[in-house]
Chain A
Amino acid sequence: MSFHILAEAKKIAKITLAGELDSLSAREFQREIEKVAAEGPDELVLFVENLTFISSAGLRVLIFAKQKIGTNLAIYIVQPQENIVDTLEKTGLQHSVNIVDKYM
């Protein structure tokens, strides 16, 4: 498995992503999102310090999270590597998420 998920489905859901978020791991990521969605969190916090690549299917899961949980969901992308920020910007997703260095 190329990444790890630690989910705490409270009002704040926290997930750690590492490695490559490609089409295969995106499916697993999506299943985790479905689980946390059931709890109706206000915030989804993704710790991505060690995430090296996000594919189109990976981006889709972020869109899916918004659709599934609701547009009021605040998504935090914590400590992304530069190429991840780049991908989010070029595909227009940077407006839908909060890119932060640290989640308080």
Chain B
Amino acid sequence: MEDSRIDYYPTHELNGIKFRRGHVLPFGASMVSNGVNFSVYSSAATSCTLVLFDRGEARPFAEIPFPDEFRIGNVYAMIVFDLDYERLEYGYRMDGPFNPAAGYRFDKTKILSDPYAKVIGGRDTWLAKPNWDDIYPYRSRLAFEDFDWEGDHPLETPAEDLIIYEMHVRGFTRHPSSGVKNPGTFSAIKSKISYLKGLGINCIELLPVYEFDEWEHSRESPVTGETLVNYWGYSTVNFFSPKAGYAATGKFGMQVDELKTLIKELHKNGIEVILDVVFNHTAEGDHRGHTISFRGIDNKTYYMLTPEGYYFNFSGTGNTLNCNHPVVRNMVLDCLRYWASEYHIDGFRFDLAAILGRDMDGRPLSNPPLLESLAFDPILAKCKLIAEAWDAGGLYQVGSFPAYGRWAEWNGKYRDNVRKFLKSDAGEVGPMAQRIMGSPDLYYHRGPAASINFICCHDGFTLYDMFAYNEKHNEANGENNNDGANDNNSWNCGWEGETDDPNINWLRHKQVKNALTILMVSQGIPMILMGDEVGRTQKGNNNTYCQDNELNWLDWSLLDKNADLYTYSQRIIRFRHLHPVLRSPKHFQHWDYVGSGFPDISFHGTKAWRCDWSTSSRAFAFMLCGYHAKQGAVTDNMVYVAMNMYWETLHFQLPELPDNLKWHLFANTDMPTPEDIFDPGREPQLEDQQNFLVGARSVVVLVGKPV
């Protein structure tokens, strides 16, 4: 019997609480026989006290100072017996110097969350009014780790086969039109899995689901009077804990089970889960911010500090996590390993990842140890690692992020070039050729799957708004429209905002279809923003970080209102899945290495085999040879895509096919529904096999296949 072992006998007692020396590893609180092992480190604390609460109680029921003999190195460890695993809340008091100039901010009056806590209590229901006088507002709790995964396993879908759907947990189902029980929760996403499958995506990327405080910086909107909140959640309170307010069962403390259940169901349906992780800063802000955890436990270790002891602000949010400090590096690694192993997460997207490549003084490193550790970690070996390869401190590393053969990047240049091309800017045909090939100019040695292709993401306009607004309209954020990006490369199609003009509305829908088509025929990994498949609008707001309302919630009635867009999205996604030639694991070689008579990719213009690369050109076409699909390992059809962003119709001469193949029309965005896109595999044959009239600002996709 394990609980009869001598090492689990209490050796100490204080006011009836029995305890003994603990295990220094693992960090955090772990259940052991009849007790809980607590382990926490601080490089400079002079003493540490464990503080124990019964759930929700205002005052602790015990405070146990760690006897000095329980400390090994800088780690305090203790086993406390006879605790109620489910009702326990715990924290620490750390004593030590308060000397900000030297980097120390110890304050033993504060009760601190455990950086390694697996559950945080205190914000259990979204926007439920907290007790502002709570002496310990973010309470560390224990998590049971006996979830029954049955046969589940991360899916390990080949990267180039992914189609990512970027989603906000709450925004996906919070709108009253979603028709689900418990809107805005993990559980509600589970009840919408059939929608995701029907759309055809095979991966969801969730905006932060780590515990954050939606009340952080909450205020009243000067425009609408609504409460503005920390809606997106890019401000971590604890890295290991799922957001309780995103779980219908959060008020019962079962968010861990609810999220795991969602992931298991998604996996059963072939959908991977990528988490957007924010390791660049925490919710503690700058020197004026709250002390929640890291600042009071080990300020100098966890944060990048200026020589004067202030916080470096490369994240634009007040502080910067000291990611390349060996201790913090290990915490990040422990955290990701925990999510990969305990939650079966398939991949991670790192917010402002360029920060992770800075040294302790903020200088960019050529060989950042954290990024290297993540790339070579055995537990993360099959996880997708995706960098947002820039930061708010001006470090822009798209194409040059230290990748170690593992990292993919949000390709910001893809977004910019496609947007400019779509609004008929000059000089974009050359860059566009690179983008549709998977950006070999940026990722030549890394393969097309290094490129996460996206046109829109949570940060910026929605796809529909890209063609409805020239300027951002962020007044509702209460910052005098000064927040949010100004370089949107958007075009309103002739009128700013909503209009009844049928021609403008027609053009907007066509532009959305053009964008979706370009995205789905590009090599690399496409990512769609939640709702772009049905023309979701944010009314021109390009920075909806604080809006917990219809600006962010997906309106499910758009499925009917914009049925043409939804059908188009479904079919173009299916087309990508059906054609491996669109999903090459390696870059094109521009020659015929399988003997088909055609190079793997060829570029064309209004004349076949002659692409106009000049600055004034706004139209081009490309053809993919199906015999080169997956480097010739499989045979696919020929695929020809013509893109005319010129403002007049152009005749495109089609490349001649071998006798056994004929051109068939899959999509023509210039046609009204249902002639705009056909059922993949049932494309009608073209009467004219030599020429195709491509309308102004239109995209055409042809398939060359046997009759």
Chain B nearest CB, measured from A53 CB (Å): 8
Q: How far does the alpha carbon of A46 sit from the alpha carbon of B265 in the complex, in Å? A: 26
Asked if A16 CB lies within 8 Å of chain B CBs, one says no
Asked if B604 CB lies within 8 Å of chain A CBs, one says no
| Cross-chain contact B257 with A55 (CB below 8 angstroms) | no
| Cross-chain contact A92 with B86 (CB below 8 angstroms) | no
| Cross-chain contact A56 with B84 (CB below 8 angstroms) | no
Asked if B37 CB lies within 8 Å of chain A CBs, one says no
Query: By the criterion of a CB under 8 Å from any partner CB, how many residues of chain A are at the interface?
Result: 21
Chain B nearest CB, measured from A56 CB (Å): 5
| Cross-chain contact A87 with B85 (CB below 8 angstroms) | no
Chain A nearest CB, measured from B230 CB (Å): 25
Those of A44-70 within 8 Å (CB) of chain B: 55-57, 59-60, 63-64, 66
Kindly list chain A residues whose C-beta atoms are within 8 Å of the C-beta of B148: 63, 66, 92-93, 96
Closest to A23 in B: B86
**Contact check: which of B150, B187, B252, B265 meets A56 at CB < 8 Å?**
B252
Asked if A34 CB lies within 8 Å of chain B CBs, one says no
Which secondary structure dominates chain A's binding surface? Answer: helix
| Cross-chain contact B86 with A90 (CB below 8 angstroms) | no
Q: How far does the alpha carbon of A40 sit from the alpha carbon of B413 in the complex, in Å? A: 64
Those of B426-470 within 8 Å (CB) of chain A: none
Instruction: Take A23-B84, A23-B86 as given contacts and tell me if A60 and B146 are in contact as well, using a CB distance cutoff of 8 Å.
Output: yes
| Cross-chain contact B85 with A91 (CB below 8 angstroms) | no
**Contact check: which of A56, A64, A91, A95 meets B86 at CB < 8 Å?**
A56
Which secondary structure dominates chain B's binding surface? Answer: loop
Asked if B254 CB lies within 8 Å of chain A CBs, one says yes
Those of B225-251 within 8 Å (CB) of chain A: 247-249
Q: How far does the alpha carbon of A89 sit from the alpha carbon of B181 in the complex, in Å? A: 12
* Interface magnitude class on chain B: 20 to 34
| Cross-chain contact B85 with A55 (CB below 8 angstroms) | no
Instruction: Take A60-B146, A66-B148 as given contacts and tell me if A90 and B85 are in contact as well, using a CB distance cutoff of 8 Å.
Output: no
Asked if B87 CB lies within 8 Å of chain A CBs, one says yes
Q: How far does the alpha carbon of A23 sit from the alpha carbon of B85 in the complex, in Å? A: 8
**Contact check: which of A56, A66, A90, A92 meets B253 at CB < 8 Å?**
A56
Kindly list chain B residues whose C-beta atoms are within 8 Å of the C-beta of A66: 148
User: Residues 499-515 of chain B: 1 if any A CB is under 8 Å from the residue's CB, otherwise 0?
Assistant: 00000000000000000
Chain B nearest CB, measured from A50 CB (Å): 19
| Cross-chain contact B257 with A92 (CB below 8 angstroms) | yes
The CB with the most chain A CB atoms within 10 A, among B144, B248, B252, is that of B252
| Cross-chain contact B261 with A55 (CB below 8 angstroms) | no
Kindly list chain B residues whose C-beta atoms are within 8 Å of the C-beta of A56: 86, 144, 252-254, 257
Q: Closest 10 A-B residue pairs measured CB to CB?
A: A92-B261, A23-B86, A91-B257, A57-B86, A90-B187, A90-B258, A56-B254, A23-B84, A90-B249, A90-B248
Please name 13 pairs of A and B residues whose Cβ atoms are closer than 8 Å in the assembled complex, sorted by A.
A23-B86, A55-B253, A56-B254, A56-B257, A57-B85, A57-B144, A64-B146, A86-B248, A90-B186, A90-B248, A92-B148, A92-B264, A96-B148
Interface residue ranges, A against B (CB under 8 Å)? 22-24, 26, 55-57, 59-60, 63-64, 66, 86-87, 89-93, 95-96
Q: List 7 other contacts, CB 8 Å, given A60-B146, A63-B146.
A: A86-B181, A86-B248, A90-B182, A90-B254, A90-B258, A90-B261, A93-B148
